[in-house]
């Protein structure tokens, strides 16, 4: 079987010159790639005590849901603003050009619950930090963050200092 990195398609100069876009569609298209990605990410949670898996829209759903299912944990979707039907907490964060807002249902996390956050990519850490802030406002505790891909050159770990962070694949550049 191939290594997980071999399933990722790298597209040079997208979306702009000098950027290498790491495309996960080739990972999830291949049955072995998908299984390897979920197994590798799930292995990063061995020995971690937690109650819930949070997945960030939308690719965090792809990886978070099967991990929650496999480990018999509940799953909390973290959605873009305006997509959840009940009362929410929200957090805005900076993007390269502008801002974005994420939301979680207020009743999704009970005080004292331990959570892990799953997403496909860690770049600057802004999205993950927004999710952490919401979890903590609801009284939850973030036990670990797991990403399929980390772009180490964007220094997201610095924004997430003090939290346990792990990635299945780490690319040194941006």
What residues act catalytically?
A: 59, 96
Structure-derived torsion over alpha carbons of residues 52, 57, 63, 66, reported in degrees to the nearest 10: 50
Contact 145, 163 (CB under 8 A): yes
Q: What does DSSP say about strands 9-12 and 88-95: parallel, antiparallel, or unpaired?
A: unpaired
Matching residue, tokens 């690319």? 171
CA–CA gap between residue 91 and residue 135 (Å, rounded): 10
CA–CA gap between residue 146 and residue 17 (Å, rounded): 29
Contact 26, 9 (CB under 8 A): yes
Matching residue, tokens 């390897």? 36
């Amino acid at each position: 079987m191939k290594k997980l990195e071999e399933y990722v398609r790298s597209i040079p100069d997208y979306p702009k010159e000098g950027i290498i876009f790491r495309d996960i569609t080739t990972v999830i298209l291949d049955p072995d790639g998908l299984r390897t990605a979920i197994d590798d990410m799930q292995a990063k949670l061995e020995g971690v005590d937690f109650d819930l898996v949070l997945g960030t829209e939308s690719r965090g759903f792809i990886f978070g849901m099967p991990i929650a299912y496999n480990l018999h944990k509940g799953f909390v979707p973290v959605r873009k603003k305006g997509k959840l039907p009940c009362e929410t907490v929200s957090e805005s964060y900076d993007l390269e050009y502008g801002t974005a807002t994420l939301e979680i249902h207020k009743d999704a996390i009970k005080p004292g619950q331990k959570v892990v956050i799953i997403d496909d990519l860690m770049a600057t850490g802004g999205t993950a930090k927004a999710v952490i802030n919401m979890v903590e406002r609801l009284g939850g505790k973030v036990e670990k963050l797991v990403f399929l891909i980390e772009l180490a050159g964007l220094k997201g770990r610095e924004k997430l200092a003090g939290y346990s962070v792990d990635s299945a694949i780490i690319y040194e550049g941006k």
